[in-house]
């Protein structure tokens, strides 16, 4: 998913007064799957971190 699509989806969720962010356990599971998923998993993890490093770091800390 491109950054533009993510921004558009987020704006639509805010307008509808419902933001569906993943819970910290869901983020941890996604990161664990990425780390054990071989090259495809590492590419996903890289995209996740590059999209918003600060948000990723905050979610990992929780």
- Shortest CA distance to 27 belongs to which of 38, 35, 19? 35
pLDDT on residue 17: 61
pTM of the complete model beyond 0.85:
no
**The token pair that represents 62 in the structure block:** 């929780």
Can you give the pLDDT of all 62 residues of the chain as single tens digits? 577 777 777 667 666 665 566 676 777 777 777 777 777 777 777 777 777 777 777 766 65
Give 1's DSSP letter: -
């Amino acid at each position: 998913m491109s950054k533009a699509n993510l921004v558009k989806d987020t704006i639509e969720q805010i307008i509808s007064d419902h933001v569906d962010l993943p819970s910290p356990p869901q983020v941890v599971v996604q990161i664990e799957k990425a780390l054990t998923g071989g090259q495809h998993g590492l590419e996903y993890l890289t995209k996740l971190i590059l999209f918003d490093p600060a948000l990723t770091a905050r979610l990992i800390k929780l």
